[in-house]
Amino acid sequence: MYFFLYEEEFETFFKEETPVTYLYFGRSVSKSVLGRVGLNCPRLIELVVCANGLQPLDNELICIAEHCTNLTALGLSECEVSCSAFIKFVRLCGRRLTQLSIMEEVLIPDEDYSLDEIHTEVSKYLGRVWFPDVMPL
């Protein structure tokens, strides 16, 4: 089943536990909607966020990792996540993440991790070599 919803229509979508397994946000999506995904979509397998703006999604991603225990695929572009929060997300999901497509521009260096260090940490938790995707020039 596919749903095409505008942001104001999400209220009815999130009334109860939603049996969503694949969720693609092709347009900009708010932090509050992403936070509700973690709490209302425990069967989620794949999440793609194409745009969010410039508000870090740290808490929202961690909530999704904690509550969506079937999540195996994540794609992020045109949004922001601190390197520390992203590493915590990957640590929580572990080796079940079979697809992880994150644009380098999404990752924001912080006091704990730089962009040069992040691939080593993420690779350790995934059990395979991983690098963020880079936009070709």
Structural domains in the chain, sorted by start:
7-126 (3.80.10.10)
Interatomic CA distance for residues 131 and 123, integer angstroms: 8
State the residue for tokens 């940490």: 121
In DSSP terms, 51 is beta-bridged to: 28
- With vertex at residue 69, the alpha carbon angle to CA 68 and CA 75, rounded to the nearest 5 degrees, is 60
Angstrom distance (rounded) from CA 116 to CA 50: 24
d(CA 38, CA 44): 9
Global pTM reads 0.87
pLDDT digits (tens, 9 = 90+) for 25-84: 877 788 888 888 888 888 899 999 887 777 899 999 999 999 999 999 999 988 899 999
Query: pLDDT by residue (tens digit) across 77-129?
Result: 888 999 999 999 999 999 999 999 998 999 999 999 998 889 999 999 999 99
